[in-house]
Amino acid sequence: MLKPSVTQQFPEERPQKDKTFFSLLPANYRGVHRLNRDEQGRTKCVACYMCSTACPAHCIDIVAAPSPWPDREKYPETFVIDELRCIYCGMCEQACPVDAIELTTLFDLTGFSREEMMFDKEKLLSVFDETVKMGTDPVRTRTGRLSVASELPPEGGVTTSSTAQM
Amino acid sequence: MATVYVTLPPSNNGHPRTDTIDIEVGGEKLKAVAIDIGDARLNLIEAAARGGIEIPYFCWHPALTVVASCRMLLNHPLDCPVCDKAGECMLQDHSYHHGRATSRMIEEKFSPPNKPHIGSNVTLFTDRCIMCTRCVRFTREVSGQAELQVTHRGHHTEIDIFPGEPLNNKLASNVVDLCPVGALCSKDFLYKQRVWYLKTQKSVCADCSTGCSINVDGNKNVVYRLHPRDNPLAQGHFMCDDGRLGYHYVNSPERFNRPRIRRGAELAPAPWAEVVRGLRQELADAVKRDASAVLGVLSPFLTCEEAYLIAKYLKGLSGQVRLALGPVPVVGEDDTYPKDRRGHPIQPVKFTIRAEKCPNRRGVEEVLRHFQGDVIGFDEAVRSAQAGQLQALYLAAGYPPRPGGWVSEQQAASLKKVPLLVVQDLLPSPVSGHAKYLLPAGAWAEKDGTFVNHAGLAQAIHWAVTPTGETRSDGQVFLDLLERRGLAHAPTLRKELAQEVPFFAALASGEIGDHGIALTAT
């Protein structure tokens, strides 16, 4: 009787990440994907296919092309994730060498058709805009530049992006 | 007889060996492997390889002179995720097996700009170059025109061309295969696929009678690239750009993808069962009326097995049915390499692009010779058609689209006179519109079979992709016409061919192996 209520009145009340100790949404919740933008608003993705190679559900389809920008070689001409096929394991996020793909806390994913659930590059970038604006999913990652692996590890060892965020 | 002793560290990179012996060099006790190399003149890399010991190298290549470029690598960027070579890169492999996790390079890496202008089929990512100079030696020693060179000194060394003289010789793209890293990349293949998605099949280039051994790389039923496969019996280590880049028609959406039968003015799609039944009936009727007015044309793009099956079918209808060899495309003269700076060929010849632009004239000719004694040319077939002597004509064509086409408008006008015209081809041609039966043909990348090259070397081809749409491989269609059950299984058909046609007797086991079997003593 004296314990605080753990029942949440969904959908009037919506779970928020780390709002309370009894939040229904853990901090490492894996929801809808987003494609991160760099400082200039371009997609960070370099179309290396690491995510689609790592993906156990084979739900990521990329078509690569020479990049229109001078500071990188390659970019995704199209980038499509089948959100219905995805198992939300987060392997794509782990595989990404430039921190371009992240799973957000958006969990209420619905649509009227299968086609609608094929998220293309524009849609995935708009998820980034939306989640960053809402402040639910701050950008967790570092430079987003290729070749970071060739730099010396920072003093005091490597900090992973998820621990840094929590 | 000679024995080479290769010393090993005790762990041998995690692969300890049990066959080591103890030796003493200058008082130091060492473990070594004794490798008997007989009378062969080998360098240490080759000798060690015979004993199953890998000595990491970059600059050495069996077809090029020894240069011993040591102390390379330090400047290589870590851009494997966007590099096309990743997955088949010597540097990645060596680094994985023998390397260390961190770089000792403390200076700023030197990143000169890319050179996409280096050639029409080749692009250079200058900063990835490790200065092994394989490409430079290739253009000097094999293609001969020495377009590539090393410029600058020390840390600023780069590969470059002379201004306005790009790397556009017909062997240019071999530098992409030679490059041990991703510095030289193929423009045709650039960013099309990551290499680990590709499924590789051993095959033979179908673009000239040299018959270069190749690997066909495909994924999801699309051919993405061809690259040479070492074969000392065929061409050696390389292949020409005409062959390498000439495969695109295999993926063409223009290709015929279902059989059609003429109904009035239009060629209407029909199921295979109906087409095969109708075709068998009409050919049998034509043979009954006048067998000498029935003619089969076998293109030099058919495999030996396919030529054998169609010849067996048509000759089985009646011995009087005639068989002709399809047009043999010949372009210019044999083109030999190396060449000098002015483009004149020089001796000794290291690579030949042959004028005969088809893979299997010899094989098809031998089948024709066996079945009717002599080989009738395509011109005679056209003359017979023009003279109105033909009632039925089976054109087993399967020609790739090349400038000029395989049949002219004029020839097509003659062939049009034949009442029962059967065209089995890949793409529309002047004659396909006049067909009564239009059958889609399989391309070489979709077939299993045997090609016999200019020197009489029989090599196996294997399918890398499946035919588009309803297309059946030519061999399968011929089996259907023969009313034989089962699939066109190349080794079985090869055995049958070897038993029946003496020229192919050496293929009696049905298996050819990777390097092929020489059928003639040339």
User: DSSP states of B292-317 as a string?
Assistant: GGEEEEE-TTS-HHHHHHHHHHHHHH
CA-nearest residue to B84 within chain A is A48
Cβ separation B194–A53 shorter than 8 A: yes
Query: In angstroms, how far is CA A153 from the centroid of its own chain?
Result: 24
Question: Among B82, B114, B192, whose Cβ lies nearest the Cβ of A146?
Answer: B82
User: Kind and range of the H or E element at B37?
Assistant: strand B28-38
A95 contact B CB<8A: no
Distance, in angstroms, between A141 CA and closest chain B CA?
Answer: 18
pLDDT at position A166, please?
A: 33
Distance, in angstroms, between B134 CA and closest chain A CA?
Answer: 24
Cβ separation A53–B196 shorter than 8 A: yes
User: Kind and range of the H or E element at B461?
Assistant: strand B457-461
Q: Is the peptide bond before B359 cis (omega within 30 degrees of 0)?
A: no
Among A58, A147, A151, pick the best mutation site for testing chain B contact (most B Cβ within 10 A). Answer: A147
ipTM of the complex: 0.83
Q: How far apart are CA B146 and CA B140, in angstroms?
A: 4
Q: How far apart are CA A90 and CA A28, in angstroms?
A: 10
Q: How confident is the model at residue B63 (pLDDT cuts 50, 70, 90)?
A: very high
A47 contact B CB<8A: yes
Cβ-Cβ contacts under 8 Å, B78 against chain A: 146-147, 149-150
Q: How confident is the model at residue B141 (pLDDT cuts 50, 70, 90)?
A: very high
Distance, in angstroms, between A136 CA and closest chain B CA?
Answer: 30
Q: How far is CA B358 from CA A53, B174, B465, in A?
A: 38, 21, 20
Q: How far apart are CA B300 and CA B209, in angstroms?
A: 10
Burial of B29 (0-12, 13-18, 19+ CB in 10 A): exposed
- Across residues B402-414, what is the average pLDDT? 93
In the predicted model, is pLDDT for residue A21 greater than 70?
no
Q: How far apart are CA B286 and CA B314, in angstroms?
A: 11
Spatial CB neighbours of B434, under 8 Å, sequence gap ≥ 6: B412, B415, B416, B421, B423
A78 contact B CB<8A: no
CA-nearest residue to A147 within chain B is B78
A111 contact B CB<8A: no
A121 contact B CB<8A: no
Where is average pLDDT lowest: A62-66, B153-157, B269-273? Answer: B153-157
Question: Among B103, B191, B197, whose Cβ lies nearest the Cβ of A74?
Answer: B191
Cβ-Cβ contacts under 8 Å, B77 against chain A: 147, 150
Cβ-Cβ contacts under 8 Å, A66 against chain B: 190-191
Where is average pLDDT lowest: A84-93, A124-133, A141-150, B363-372? Answer: A141-150
Q: Which two tokens stand for residue B446?
A: 């979709």
A55 contact B CB<8A: no
* 3-state SS class at B184: strand
Cβ separation B82–A66 shorter than 8 A: no
Question: Among A66, A72, A146, whose Cβ lies nearest the Cβ of B191?
Answer: A66
Q: Which two tokens stand for residue B234?
A: 């065929």
Burial of B485 (0-12, 13-18, 19+ CB in 10 A): exposed
- Across residues B164-184, what is the average pLDDT? 95
Percent of chain B with pLDDT over 70: 98
Q: Which two tokens stand for residue B495?
A: 């055995």
Distance, in angstroms, between A47 CA and closest chain B CA?
Answer: 7
Distance, in angstroms, between A73 CA and closest chain B CA?
Answer: 7
Alpha carbon dihedral B452, B458, B459, B462, in 10-degree steps, equals 70
| Mean pLDDT computed over every residue of chain B | 92
The pLDDT tens digits of the residues spanning A73-132 come to 899 999 999 999 999 999 999 999 888 999 988 888 899 999 999 999 999 999 999 988
Percent of chain B with pLDDT over 90: 79
CA-nearest residue to A152 within chain B is B102
Phi–psi pair at B416, nearest 5 degrees: -60, -25
Q: How confident is the model at residue B3 (pLDDT cuts 50, 70, 90)?
A: confident
CA-nearest residue to B195 within chain A is A49
Cβ separation B82–A53 shorter than 8 A: no
Q: Is the peptide bond before B348 cis (omega within 30 degrees of 0)?
A: yes
Cβ separation A48–B82 shorter than 8 A: yes
Residue with tokens 């007889």: B1
Q: Where are the beta strands (DSSP E) in B184-338?
A: 184-186, 199-204, 213-219, 222-228, 260-263, 266-269, 294-298, 322-325, 335-337
For the range A157-161, what are the long-range contacts, defined as Cβ-Cβ under 8 Å and sequence gap of 24 or more?
Answer: A161/A99
How, if at all, do strands B199-204 and A33-35 pair? unpaired
Q: Which two tokens stand for residue A147?
A: 């070749």
Cβ separation B125–A73 shorter than 8 A: yes
Q: How far apart are CA B69 and CA B133, in angstroms?
A: 8
Cβ-Cβ contacts under 8 Å, B81 against chain A: 46, 48, 50, 97-98, 146
Q: How far apart are CA B499 and CA B508, in angstroms?
A: 7
> May I ask the CATH class of domain A27-138?
alpha beta
The pLDDT tens digits of the residues spanning B274-316 come to 999 999 999 999 999 999 999 999 999 999 999 999 999 999 9
Q: How far apart are CA B183 and CA B42, in angstroms?
A: 29
* 3-state SS class at B352: strand
pLDDT at position A152, please?
A: 43
CA-nearest residue to A50 within chain B is B81
A149 contact B CB<8A: yes
DSSP-assigned beta bridge partners for residue B161: B148
- Across residues B434-441, what is the average pLDDT? 96
Cβ-Cβ contacts under 8 Å, B125 against chain A: 73
Computed from CA positions of residues B471, B475, B480, B484, in that sequence, does the dihedral angle turn out positive or negative? negative
Cβ separation B102–A152 shorter than 8 A: yes
Report if pTM > 0.80: yes
